[in-house]
Amino acid sequence: MTPRPKLMLAAALGAAGLLTTACGGSAVSDSSNASGQGSGLARGCPDNGTTGLTDTTIKLGLSQPLSGPYVSVGGQLYGMQAYFAYVNSQGGIQGPDGRKRKVELVYKDDAYTATKAKANVDQLVNRDKVFALLGQFGTAGNLAARPIIAQQCVPSLFATTGAPELANPKYPWAIAGSISYATEGRILGQYVRDKHPNATVAVLEQDDDLGRAYLQGFEQAIAGSGVKVVATQTFEAGEPDVKNQITTLAATKADLYFNVASGLTGLQALNHVHASGWRPEVIQVAQLPVTLLRRLQPGAGDRLITGGTGPDFANPEVAAGNEEFQLYMQWFRKTPGADKIDPLSASQGWFQGRLLDWTVRHATTMDRVGVMESARSIDYTGPSFTLPGIKIHTTPDDPHLFEGMQLNRFDAAKGRLVPLGEVIDIDGQVKYEPVS
């Protein structure tokens, strides 16, 4: 009798999987659905408030792309590591109990796939037993992992996404770290309403939730004013050419052109607008960084307005004059692997670390509920990469961290952003609304 080895192997694999991974209670009697005691945030939470904490360490988790086509957007990890190296060198983050805890950061690659992000968060929370998540990356990944966060009551702090959905009050355990797309749209709309009260606007919109969130905010801001959207054209993300849409929009000869497009498509649209002979003032969403704007054809960026929350660190003078940025660069350069990463995109991670530090320090109790409540009542005025005048502020009813922007004019000749007027901050005015 000859057993078939392939089957034996399969059996062995199964058995090995069973034996080697046996830990942390069996799945059949999983009690994570069981509701615990408590009120407010803690309602229905399991009794795990201090998971991931010891007297000397705090364990944090993160899932973000580290491979695949979107790997380049994942620089934040290095900024975060730089901050934690810095804070650990000072003994760690001080909690409300007076203890200093060094940060252990566990990170996993999701290649920007939502369900992989969900599996990673499942592992981080249920196997690695992290105390909280920091800078969880991507809208879809955050939404996919949300049930785990909610069920286990794990703070997911300063997630790297601007999706308005992160402010959904049904899910109080997650808070976004980027300005919401809808908020940005609203600020841009407010600028248009104030400066061009009777303008006509032609819109190019990326046909997805991102584009819609921008436009929704914009339309809210101009509602009731003399500003009129005269034409809207859409394009699919990844569409090779938007020339047809631009031709249609150019025919309107509108006063303003609202470019809700990012990356190379955004650039292409602006070049087409210029080539068409139409000379509107361009309102550009912040998804198109200065480094890309510099690649516009001559003239195409001449009348371009775009918003931002931070100083233009691409300008060496600005970078040299900012103490926090210098401190960041000092630690960033020491971070293994950082030499391949753009320091500007990674700086977000440093600030996420900085803000986490503040949040833990100002918690009322050193547990998950305490830290989450702290994250929902932030009034931060410490060192940041944010322009003065933009509040870093949350309340239990308003989890939007940033609701302000500085509008800038793009100086094409120098390849720089020049501040335009005062910071527009609409703190407290943004309410959660599903994108429709």
Partner 1 sequence: MNKNVTRALWAGLLCLLALAPFVVGTVEISAFQKVVYLSVAVMSLNVLTGFNGQASIGHSAFMGIAAYFTALAVQSHGWSYWAALPASILVAALVGALAGVPALRIRGMNLALVTLGLGMVFPQLPIRFTEETGGTQGMPVDEPLAAPAFLNVSDVAWRYWVLLALAALVFWLVRNFRASRVGRAVIAIRDQPIAAHTAGVNVAATKIAVFAVSAGMAGLAGWMFTVANQFVSPSDFTVLVSINLLLGMAIGGSGTLAGPVIGAVFLHYIPEAVNGTGIDPVLTPALYGLILILVVYFLPGGAAGGLAQLSARFAASRRSPDEPGQAPPSTPRLTSSTSHP
Give me the residues that bind partner 1 (CB under 8 A), please. 1-11, 13-15, 17-19, 21-33, 66-68, 71, 108-109, 112-115, 118-119, 122-123, 126-127, 139-140, 143-144, 146-147, 163, 165, 207-210, 212, 236-238, 337, 436
Give 59 or 274: the residue with its C-beta nearer to partner 1.
Answer: 59
Q: How far is the CB of 109 from partner 1 (least distance, A)?
A: 4
Shortest Å, Cβ 239 to partner 1: 9
165/255 with CB nearer partner 1: 165
Token reading at 180: 């919401």
Nearer to partner 1, 143 or 407 (CB): 143
Q: How far is the CB of 31 from partner 1 (least distance, A)?
A: 8
Q: CA–CA distance from 178 to each of 27, 87, 236 (Å)?
A: 36, 23, 24
Least Å distance between CB 71 and partner 1? 6
Give me the least distance between CB of 137 and partner 1, in Å please.
12
3-state secondary structure the chain: CCCCHHHHHHHHHHHHHHHHCCCCCCHHHCCCCCCCCCCHHHCCCCCCCCCCECCCEEEEEEEECCCCCCHHHHHHHHHHHHHHHHHHHCCCEECCCCCEEEEEEEEEECCCCHHHHHHHHHHHHHCCCCCEEECCECHHHHHHHHHHHHHHCCCEEEEECCCHHHHCCCCCCEEECCCCHHHHHHHHHHHHHHHCCCCEEEEEEECCHHHHHHHHHHHHHHCCCCCEEEEEEEECCCCCCCHHHHHHHHCCCCCEEEEECCHHHHHHHHHHHHHCCCCCEEEECCCCCHHHHCCCCCCCCCCEEEEECCCCCCCHHHHHCCHHHHHHHHHHCCCCCHHHCCHHHHHHHHHHHHHHHHHHHCCCCCCHHHHHHHHCCCEECCCCCCCCCCCEECECCECCCECEEEEEEEECCCCEEEECCCCEECCCCCCCCCCC
Whose Cβ is closer to partner 1: residue 148's or residue 249's? 148
Minimum distance from residue 211 beta carbon to partner 1 (Å): 9
CB nearer to partner 1: give 136 or 374.
136
Q: Which is nearer to partner 1, 29 or 39 (CB)?
A: 29
Question: Looking at beta carbons only, is 8 or 418 nearer to partner 1?
Answer: 8
Q: Which is nearer to partner 1, 29 or 37 (CB)?
A: 29
Nearer of residues 32 and 90 to partner 1, judged by Cβ: 32
CB of 33 to partner 1, least distance (A): 7
Minimum CB distance to partner 1, residue 133 (Å): 15
Taking the complex as a whole, the smallest distance from the CB of residue 4 to partner 1 amounts, in Å, to 5
